[in-house]
Amino acid sequence: MAAQALRIVVPRFGTEVVGGSESLARRLADALASRGWRIEVFTTTAVDEATWRGDLAREERTAAGYLVRRFPVRWRRRPAAFHQATRAFFRLPSRIRPEPIWLRAQGPYAPGIVAALAQAEGMPTLFTPYLFYPTLYGLPAAPHPRLLIPAAHDERPLRLAAVARVIGATDGLWYGTPEERELVERVHPAARGVPHAVGTVGVEITSGDPQRFRARFALAGPVLVYGGRATPGKGIDVMLAAVERLRRRHPDATLVLAGHDHVAAPAQKGVVATGNLDDRAWHDALAAAVAVVVPSPMESLSMLALEAWAAGRPCLLNAASPVLRGQLERSGGGLAFSGPAELAEAARSLLEDPAAADRMGRAGRAYVEANHRWDAVMDRLASLLVAPSR
């Protein structure tokens, strides 16, 4: 492979960080570094996406050997106030919206990243996701070639003028799924003229110890697992309502919520919040799951589903997401649901038919093995890096 260096720019980065794009960036950095690439990461000191609070080390050398440079966030975000301001912002006609003010408030406002990129040595730079300040302001400032993993779903910010400008400044678009590509090209027709590839991440086949996980958290009955953030729009309320319904038939069923921000979730029978789990404990959790729930209606690529399938477990996926429907149709690795009642019924069917659950899990694993190998991911990246800069 000709290219052997890559700079990755992402709003948050580290083992303490929970999030789909952040997980993808870390997996990609580790995989490239292990294959001899020279990797560096530009990010912020933030841990929490809701407020951009956090004080991670300004420089860190990872276990994989690459350097992470973190820049301070100048403005913290107050979630309730920002939510109200966002509603007012998008009610305005697009021609009079104060986009620069909203984008700084959206954050993470770290102008040091932009200044560093403007002065950085000439090497390929990959940005993800599209939505945040480091991408919207950093990509146009970076040296060529500039690549973008949009991690886009159908939401109002995707239609901002700043996003159109970034797509116009991008040398290559790297999509997670065909559905994401279709969405971006529909909203921004200029994207059709940008070199692109589909398939951003490889997934290793994993195994874990279900009994070790059960013993650690005193779990006796069947387990459903969710791993990710508890931010609005992620479908947490749907899962909580579904598990309440499910327990009427299966009172020993438990929903496990993994991630640091679930510890403040309302107490509910049949729900266990584990906090962050290290890799071994997470693999144990997946192995213990009857099924893994993917409840968000807005996805560009579900890393959670890919991890579940790599562990041989089926998924229960929100049918409102075209991306999740596409992943499910291509894999055969689970069931779709619309709303709490359907989620509870789908979970019940797998609890009562473990052979079907295992069969779907094996189909998901076969799909991951066929479509998410790291060698294929490297080839896609290489194809984008040899495309001419625009």
CATH number (domain holding residue 350): 3.40.50.2000
Average pLDDT of the residues of the chain? 92
For 83-96, the pLDDT digits (tens) are 999 999 999 998 99
Give the position of tokens 């993994």: 258
Residue 341 lies in a domain: yes
Residue 390 lies in a domain: no
SS3 70: strand
Is residue 337 within a helix (H) or strand (E), and if so which, with residue range? strand 334-337
Q: How many domains would you assign to the chain?
A: 2
Claim to verify: residue 40 and residue 103 sit in the same structural domain = yes
- For residue 276, name the pLDDT band (cuts at 50, 70, 90): confident
**How many other C-beta atoms are found inside a 10 Å radius of the C-beta of residue 52?**
24
Q: What is the pTM of this model?
A: 0.83
Claim to verify: residue 89 and residue 113 sit in the same structural domain = yes
Residue 88: exposure state from Cβ atoms within 10 A (0-12, 13-18, ≥19):
exposed
Residue 233 lies in a domain: yes
- For residue 9, name the pLDDT band (cuts at 50, 70, 90): very high
For 212-230, the pLDDT digits (tens) are 999 999 999 999 999 887 7
**262: pLDDT strictly greater than 70:** no
Claim to verify: residue 170 and residue 114 sit in the same structural domain = yes
**198: pLDDT strictly greater than 90:** yes
pLDDT above 70: percentage of residues in the chain: 95
For 71-126, the pLDDT digits (tens) are 999 989 999 999 999 999 999 998 999 999 999 999 999 999 999 999 998 899 99
Q: Which residues constitute the domain of residue 172? A: 5-202+373-385
Claim to verify: residue 20 and residue 91 sit in the same structural domain = yes
Claim to verify: residue 107 and residue 221 sit in the same structural domain = no
At residue 236, the pLDDT reads 87
Claim to verify: residue 48 and residue 37 sit in the same structural domain = yes
Radius of gyration of the chain (CA): 21
Residue 358 lies in a domain: yes
**130: pLDDT strictly greater than 70:** yes
At residue 87, the pLDDT reads 94
At residue 307, the pLDDT reads 93
Residues 137, 19: Cα–Cα separation, whole Å: 21
In this structure, the dihedral spanned by the alpha carbons of residues 307, 309, 315 and 321, taken in order and rounded to 10 degrees, is 70
Claim to verify: residue 251 and residue 273 sit in the same structural domain = yes
Residue 95 lies in a domain: yes
Claim to verify: residue 214 and residue 190 sit in the same structural domain = no
Give the position of tokens 């149709």: 329
Claim to verify: residue 123 and residue 195 sit in the same structural domain = yes
**298: pLDDT strictly greater than 90:** no
Claim to verify: residue 51 and residue 150 sit in the same structural domain = yes
- For residue 2, name the pLDDT band (cuts at 50, 70, 90): very low
Residue 361 lies in a domain: yes
**Angle, nearest 10°, between helix axes 79-91 and 99-106?**
150
Claim to verify: residue 192 and residue 274 sit in the same structural domain = no
Q: Look at the alpha carbons of 171, 176, 181, 184 in this order and tell me if their dihedral is positive or negative.
A: negative
Q: How far is CA 32 from CA 28, 39, 363, in A?
A: 6, 7, 28
**Residue 171 · residue 389 · CB < 8 Å:** yes
Residue 317 lies in a domain: yes
Per-residue pLDDT averaged across 35-44, rounded?
95
- For residue 1, name the pLDDT band (cuts at 50, 70, 90): very low
At residue 167, the pLDDT reads 96
At residue 232, the pLDDT reads 64
Claim to verify: residue 172 and residue 231 sit in the same structural domain = no
